[in-house]
Amino acid sequence: METDSFLSMRGIGKTFGDVRALREVDFGLRRGEIHALLGVNGAGKSTLIKILSGVYSKDAGSIRIAGEEFALGTPRAAIDAGIAVVQQHPELVGDLSGAENIFLGQESERPGFLARVDHAEIRRKAQALLSRFPIEIDLGKPVGEMSAVDREIVAILHALRLENARILILDEPTSTLTEREKQSLFGMMETLKAQGLAIIYITHHLDEVFEIADRFTVFRGGRNVATHRVDEARGGAISIPNLMLDTVAGHVFPPHSDRTDGQVVFEARGLGRTDEFRGIDLTARKGEILGIFGLVGSGLDELSKTLFGVLQPDTGELRLHGQPVMFRSPAQALKAGVFLVPGDRRTEGLSMQEDVVFNTTVANLGRASAGGFLRFGRNRRDAMALAERVDLQPRKLNRPLRGFSGGNQQKVVVAKGLYRQSDVYIFVEPTVGVDIGARAKIYGLMRELSETAAVIVMSSDCDEVFGVADRCVALYKGAPMGSPSRDLTRDHLLHAGIMGDPAR
């Protein structure tokens, strides 16, 4: 461990039952640096952060900040030590303004029943805090009406509202941001860095490490296996994927299919929805994966919900097995054999308080029950078989979904689709917040599903669409840029989705 660390964690250990989550971990963070924390889901980085933020107490080791030792056994102790955390999904109150969210819980300096909320003072303090950064947002607007990046900034300002904040932890802050929004966030991070704040940056996007971080640390199997300066890894001298996977990383994406004669399963003809998308012509076949690339605001989310019956089209038609269909609800789409793996798994794909067995089988109650009664034993066996198939880690079937990492939650959504045994699978943003190892598994399952069903992948990640799909098309401001093709280059697909230029 280097001697110039502002934060020094030495020999940190943590055990849950018979699982050793952390094994004598050393970690150092310097003042005024952005330090990326990397590792596959379950590698131990989340446990380390929860110890640092006081959610968990450590079993062994020491923690020093600016030379002073801290126990950090509670969230209050971590806050008092100057540690601020912004979770991957910040808990903001949508009906309150940005300023009110920033000082939520600190509305008055007078505690107790007689406390009075001074809204003018809240607005003044919030604006003063915002003025430290080269960004402009309307803090008087309700958070529920803000863009994703503005909500993220409000969450960061909420974390920094305490004057003693000196360590900031950001957990996957760019997972729902466009490229332009990401640059706004990075500008804020650079300002914080210049002001001397120490930042721990958790991400699964390795390109962001090279763009924003000064150093990175890789966790694997509950250990810190490597810490390097980012410039040491440029040019491939150090392979971050190899460090994360403890192997020579193969191709994340499975081989493309050469089949062009697969049975047509699902079609959209002239599909449109006012002010959201128009002129959508798609054909999804067995034996291949159809990919649609589009940024936030392209109409991608609305299109996926229309294909699944959440929204209704104004023009055009859908065909399933050659017959016109009109889904008035997701229940009708499911019954017809269309399954959606949604982009927001927490609110649209899973019941976070329920366990793996419930979440896996709930989409097909006809199979999960008999005579009006659930088949508990059979359902558990089916759920275990699917957990093994998607490589769920750990295979704790009775654990509520909120206790799993984002990557493993996504695997349960996929297992839910496999249990449904559908004819059409629509994956929306399938690997948001998912590590490289879990991505490879999910992409492999998509390829496996495409042998017996039509698979459509819709994502704002151009590399993901280009890497996994056999035919691709870009969606720009609601309009398809040409027809799905096998001949597009990655650069053309990206340019079409960003600039709206379908020229080849």
Task: Write the DSSP string, 283-332.
Answer: EEEBTSEEEEE--TTSSHHHHHHHHTTSS--SEEEEEETTEEE--SSHHH
Q: Who wins on pLDDT, 471 or 371?
A: 471
Separation of alpha carbons 432 and 175, rounded Å: 6
DSSP string, 189-250: HHHHHHTT-EEEEE-S-HHHHHHH-SEEEEEETTEEEEEEEHHHHGGGSS-HHHHHHTS---
Taking 60 as the threshold, does the pLDDT of residue 458 lie above it? Answer: yes
Diameter of the chain by CA atoms? 74
pLDDT of residue 119: 79
In the predicted model, what is the mean pLDDT of residues 114-121? Answer: 70
pLDDT tens digits, 189-203: 999 999 999 999 998
User: Which 8-state DSSP code applies to residue 143?
Assistant: G
Question: How far does Cα 352 stand from its chain's mean position?
Answer: 15
Q: Residue 13 — pLDDT band, cuts 50, 70, 90? A: very high
Separation of alpha carbons 40 and 26, rounded Å: 18
pLDDT of residue 81: 93
In the predicted model, what is the mean pLDDT of residues 222-238? Answer: 87
Structure tokens at 223: 């250990």
Half-sphere exposure of 459 (CA within 13 A, CB side): 25
Taking 60 as the threshold, does the pLDDT of residue 89 lie above it? Answer: yes
Highest averaged pLDDT of the listed ranges 182-186, 268-272, 295-299, 389-393: 268-272
Structure tokens at 86: 């912004």
Q: Residue 41 — pLDDT band, cuts 50, 70, 90? A: low
pLDDT of residue 295: 77
Taking 80 as the threshold, does the pLDDT of residue 462 lie above it? Answer: yes
In the predicted model, what is the mean pLDDT of residues 46-72? Answer: 92
Taking 90 as the threshold, does the pLDDT of residue 496 lie above it? Answer: no
**Domain boundaries, given as residue ranges, for the chain:** 7-245, 264-337+424-429+454-504
Q: Who wins on pLDDT, 224 or 163?
A: 224
- What does the mean pLDDT of the chain come to? 87
Q: Residue 311 — pLDDT band, cuts 50, 70, 90? A: very high
pLDDT of residue 249: 45
User: Which 8-state DSSP code applies to residue 166?
Assistant: -
Which residues 6+ apart lie within 8 Å of 403 measured at CB? 396
Separation of alpha carbons 94 and 393, rounded Å: 33
In the predicted model, what is the mean pLDDT of residues 215-221? Answer: 91
pLDDT of residue 54: 92
Q: Residue 248 — pLDDT band, cuts 50, 70, 90? A: very low
In the predicted model, what is the mean pLDDT of residues 38-56? Answer: 86
pLDDT of residue 18: 66
pLDDT tens digits, 402-429: 888 777 888 898 888 888 889 999 999 8
Q: Who wins on pLDDT, 213 or 111?
A: 213
Highest averaged pLDDT of the listed ranges 112-126, 192-206, 232-246, 425-439: 192-206
pLDDT of residue 111: 53
Q: How far is CA 220 from CA 212, 225, 296, 425, in A?
A: 22, 6, 33, 32
Q: Who wins on pLDDT, 130 or 162?
A: 130
Q: Residue 107 — pLDDT band, cuts 50, 70, 90? A: low
* Residue 113 three-state SS: coil
Taking 70 as the threshold, does the pLDDT of residue 86 lie above it? Answer: yes
Question: In this structure, which topology does domain 264-337+424-429+454-504 adopt according to CATH?
Answer: Rossmann fold (3.40.50)
Q: Who wins on pLDDT, 423 or 164?
A: 423
Highest averaged pLDDT of the listed ranges 132-141, 274-283, 399-408: 274-283
Structure tokens at 15: 């055990």
Taking 80 as the threshold, does the pLDDT of residue 4 lie above it? Answer: no
In the predicted model, what is the mean pLDDT of residues 309-322? Answer: 96
Which CATH number applies to 7-245?
Answer: 3.40.50.300
In the predicted model, what is the mean pLDDT of residues 330-355? Answer: 88
Q: Are 40 and 203 spatial neighbours (Cβ–Cβ below 8 Å)? A: no
pLDDT of residue 116: 66
Taking 70 as the threshold, does the pLDDT of residue 386 lie above it? Answer: yes
Give per-residue burial for 347-361: e unless 16+ CB within 10 Å, then b: eebbeeeebbbbbbb
User: Which 8-state DSSP code applies to residue 403?
Assistant: G
Q: Residue 305 — pLDDT band, cuts 50, 70, 90? A: very high
Is 264-337+424-429+454-504 the same fold as 7-245? yes
